[in-house]
Amino acid sequence: MNGVVIATIITISSVGIIAAIILYWASQKFKVFEDPRIDEVEDALPSANCGGCGFPGCRPFAEACVKADDLEDLDCPVGGNETMMAVAKVLGKKVSEKAKMVAVMKCNGATQFRKKHTEYDGALNCTIQHNLYGGETACQYGCLGLGECVDACGFDAMYMDPETELPVIIEDMCTACGACVEACPKDIIELRPVGKKSKRIFVSCVSHEKAGPSKKACSVACIGCGLCFKECKYDAIKIENVLAYIDPIKCVLCRKCVVVCPTSAIWEVNFPARKVKPTIEEKTKLTEIKEIDLIKTAKVNSKKR
């Protein structure tokens, strides 16, 4: 009996030792070397794991930064230039400063401008409604108003306006991660440069309908009339598929396109209020009042003499 026990112990021990040797050899043979700089780069990132950089998380983005020859095509929208400078310092690479971006809402079709003709009765999700039919209004391109973009935002930078039934973007909290852009099935939200002093001008419409149907469906829709295109002297506006688009790089923020737009489809953000110019009738009346005052003054002066 003792011999059997001893033999068993020796056998099991031998198998264990051989297995350990094989596992050690395999681990050494197939081990993957990981650059310690990946941890340093990851520590420099905001750990948002939002996917705005184009990678599934901060760790894969850090690995891409370490492997890349340069950082020009890589960007962390949440951390911005400050974070990328820190990453470049860790890796001993150079990175150019990029313009800060912000999400903009390219639909101005509030309830007072775009009347509903049907009522949706289903899951409160934009993608589902979009797959079922065009929407509750005559505009097949506008916002569905169910807030899927708001749900996708991980930074509380959006909310639904109960009056307009449109999402509102809070500029100071927006990180330009692009989650809302990806979530919107209508491609209504766009990432644009914040602009000088946070001033921006863009066409708040994505409709490709012809002028008649587009205007009938939404009173503030872009009708592709081309007036803004003719007014712009900087080649910042183009008309494609009956829709105007303003290039944020070429735009000099002169606001002349805003004035000539007949449907108010062009938005101007963070600009001072325009001075209200008097109409021709008001100017005529002011002129008459001044003339009357001058006559009265002349009569008073003649009596004094």
In a domain, 16, yes or no: no
Q: What is the pLDDT of residue 275?
A: 72
For residue 157, give every residue at least 6 positions away whose Cβ sits within 8 Å of its Cβ, in sequence order, or none.
103, 169, 170, 173, 174, 175
For 23, half-sphere exposure in the C-beta direction (CA atoms, 13 angstrom radius) is 6
Residues 84 and 212 in one domain: no
Number of domains in the chain: 2
Secondary structure (3-state) at 246: strand
In a domain? residue 282: no
Give the global pTM: 0.75
> According to the model, what pLDDT value does residue 292 have?
62
The parent domain of residue 67 ranges over: 37-91
Q: Are residues 262 and 242 in the same domain?
A: yes
Q: How far is CA 263 from the centre of its chain?
A: 23
Q: Say which CATH number the domain at 239 has.
A: 3.30.70.20
- 80 and 170 inside one domain: no
Give me the CATH number covering residue 82.
Answer: 1.10.15
> Same domain, yes or no, for 124 and 254?
yes
Q: Does residue 249 share a domain with residue 191? A: yes
Examine residue 232 and state whether it is found in any structural domain, yes or no. yes
Indicate if 57 and 176 belong to the same structural domain: no
Alpha helices in 2-125 (DSSP H): 2-30, 37-44, 58-67, 80-91
Phi–psi pair at 68, nearest 5 degrees:
-70, 145
Residues 117, 123: Cα–Cα separation, whole Å: 19
Looking at the fold, whether 87 and 105 belong to one and the same domain comes out as no
Please indicate, yes or no, whether residues 194 and 244 belong to a single structural domain of this protein: yes
**Is residue 263 domain-shared with residue 145, that is, in the same domain?**
yes
Would you give per-residue pLDDT tens digits along the chain (305 residues)? Answer: 577 777 788 888 888 888 888 888 877 777 666 788 999 999 999 988 888 888 989 999 999 999 998 898 899 998 889 999 999 999 998 888 888 999 999 999 998 999 888 888 888 899 999 998 888 999 999 999 999 999 999 999 999 999 999 999 999 999 999 999 999 999 999 999 999 889 999 999 999 999 999 999 999 999 999 999 999 999 999 999 999 999 999 999 999 999 999 999 999 999 988 776 655 565 566 666 665 665 556 555 565 55
Q: In terms of domains, do 169 and 64 share one?
A: no
Kindly state whether residues 211 and 66 are assigned to the same domain.
no
199 is a domain residue? yes
Q: Cα–Cα distance between 299 and 88 in angstroms, integer? A: 80
How much helix, strand and coil, in percent to the nearest 5, is found in the chain?
Answer: 40, 10, 50
Helix (H, G, I), strand (E, B) or coil at 238: strand
* DSSP helix/strand/coil, 191: strand
- Say whether both 160 and 256 belong to one domain: yes
Of 72, 91, 110, the one marking the end of a domain is: 91
